[in-house]
């Protein structure tokens, strides 16, 4: 935090990508958000459009099919997409923050030219497979096993659960145990091809929110991975996962800011139109206090999220900043969406307006990519040096 230079002006490039995201978000995503929420239909066409505009690989260099922008541009784009529909933002976030970041940081040239390019250009969808039925927060308790063969390749067996984009992803970043007795140091990361034998998708999870972001369990049953499909070095997988999740947490913080902004803006519009006791409800002090408190929390968490992105862009470690942003933004989004439902009252509870969707969608931001409890643990460990 010391020595941070504060400059509130965005660059022309950052504004350009924000504008591209806003255009697709308003013209294509927002109009179909209620339909996607209602049916759970995966928004394939909108994902293609986001890919065409470089929004599936915002920080990926142009030579690998991305937009070649910085983490601040990514945050600005994510906020626009999430304000239109959080489910679209989830898919975008896993592709950008988890899948692309992992290959950018740890991938070899061939992996960058193939799997990274396919995702960054939006031709394929990526997934991140860490969680298992018995290991969520306690990620080192995984059981999925990869056993090395004489030819250097691996045979993989096990299950992964709650896999975002699992039902549609072609490329999956998998974390499996190669040296079980080594704990966190015995985990290896693999790039998996979902079309190969030994890979099975389970049934899609019915969810409270982000319903158009498809989620399922995946199973490995004698899946063969070649030696050149290891990402980074064998045994480095857990550190890769944790480092990539730092970036992921900036993505989820941005998503939470987008949901919070949408709930806030809907509320500001509504209190000017809705009349009670002969006047607009926005003239009542109890409503004014809600609007003011929502605005304060929204602005604060947007700044924290941009700070985390700025820190990432400096090439410095940003674990604390990312967790502070994710924790604060997700709790603010939940609180702001709650206030928005209350302000809209009956209409807030109705599916005729999007606020009940914001309320349902906000909840997941407090859960995935590390629950609020895990974010508090990460922040406190970083601040105190204690475990």
Helix, strand, coil percentages for the chain (3-state, nearest 5): 55, 15, 30
171-177 and 126-129 strand pairing: parallel
Q: Note whether 143 binds ligand CAA by CB under 6 A.
A: no
For 253, half-sphere exposure in the C-beta direction (CA atoms, 13 angstrom radius) is 35
Min dist CB 126 to ligand CAA, Å, is 11
Give the containing element (helix H, strand E) for 374: helix 372-384
CA distance 38 to 108: 41
- Cβ proximity of 43 and 211 under 8 Å: no
Q: Note whether 242 binds ligand CAA by CB under 6 A.
A: yes
Of 156, 131, 337, the residue nearest 248 (C-alpha): 131
CA distance 73 to 205: 32
Q: Tokens representing 5?
A: 């230079």
β-sheet bridge partners, residue 127: 172
- With contacts defined by CB under 6 A, name the span among 66-74, 242-250, 295-303, 351-359 that binds ligand CAA: 242-250
Comparison of 187 and 266: residue with beta carbon closer to ligand CAA: 187
Min dist CB 173 to ligand CAA, Å, is 10
HEC string for 309-348: HHHHHCCCCCHHHHHHHHHHHHHHHHHHHHHHHHHHCHHH
Give me the catalytic one of 27, 181, 369, 373.
369
Min dist CB 244 to ligand CAA, Å, is 9
Applying the rule CB under 6 A, the residues between 15 and 54 that interact with ligand CAA are: none
Q: Which of 131, 178, 188, 320 binds ligand CAA (CB under 6 A)?
A: 131
Q: Note whether 370 binds ligand CAA by CB under 6 A.
A: yes
Q: Note whether 246 binds ligand CAA by CB under 6 A.
A: yes
Q: Note whether 363 binds ligand CAA by CB under 6 A.
A: no
Please confirm, yes or no, whether 59 is among the known catalytic residues.
no
Comparison of 331 and 348: residue with beta carbon closer to ligand CAA: 331
Applying the rule CB under 6 A, the residues between 88 and 127 that interact with ligand CAA are: 94
Applying the rule CB under 6 A, the residues between 172 and 191 that interact with ligand CAA are: 184-185
**Catalytic residue positions?**
369
């Amino acid at each position: 935090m010391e020595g941070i230079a504060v400059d509130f002006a965005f660059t022309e490039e950052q504004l350009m990508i924000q504008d591209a995201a806003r255009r697709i978000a308003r013209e294509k995503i927002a109009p179909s958000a209620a339909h996607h929420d209602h049916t759970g239909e995966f928004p394939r066409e909108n994902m293609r459009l986001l890919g065409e505009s470089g929004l599936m690989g915002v920080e990926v260099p142009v030579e690998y099919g991305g937009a070649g922008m910085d983490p601040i541009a990514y945050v600005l784009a994510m906020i626009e997409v999430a304000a239109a529909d959080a489910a679209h933002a989830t898919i975008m976030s896993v592709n950008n923050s988890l899948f692309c970041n992992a290959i950018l940081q740890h991938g070899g040239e061939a992996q960058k030219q193939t799997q990274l390019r396919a995702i960054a250009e939006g031709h394929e969808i990526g997934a991140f497979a860490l969680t298992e039925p018995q290991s969520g927060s306690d990620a080192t308790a995984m059981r999925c096993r990869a056993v090395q063969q004489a030819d250097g390749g691996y045979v993989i067996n096990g299950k992964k659960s709650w896999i975002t984009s699992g039902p549609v992803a072609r490329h999956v970043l998998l974390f499996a145990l190669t040296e079980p007795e080594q704990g966190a140091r015995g985990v290896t990361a693999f790039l998996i091809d979902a079309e190969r034998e030994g890979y099975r998708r389970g049934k899609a999870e019915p969810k409270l929110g982000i319903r158009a972001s498809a989620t399922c369990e995946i199973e490995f049953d004698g899946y063969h991975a070649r030696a050149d499909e290891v990402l980074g070095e064998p045994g480095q997988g857990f550190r890769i996962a944790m480092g990539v999740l730092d970036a992921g947490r900036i993505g989820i913080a941005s998503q939470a800011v987008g949901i919070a902004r949408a709930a806030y803006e809907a509320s500001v519009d509504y209190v000017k139109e809705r009349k009670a006791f002969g006047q607009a409800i926005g003239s009542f002090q109890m409503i004014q206090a809600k609007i003011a408190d929502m605005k304060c929390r929204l602005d604060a968490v947007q700044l924290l999220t941009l700070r985390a992105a700025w820190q990432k862009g400096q090439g410095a470690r940003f674990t604390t900043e990312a967790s502070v942003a994710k924790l604060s933004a997700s709790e603010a989004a939940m609180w702001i969406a709650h206030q928005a439902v209350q302000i809209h009252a009956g209409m807030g509870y109705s599916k005729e307006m999007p606020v009940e969707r914001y309320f349902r969608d906000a909840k997941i931001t407090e859960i995935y990519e590390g629950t609020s409890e895990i974010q508090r643990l990460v922040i406190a460990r970083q601040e105190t040096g204690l475990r």
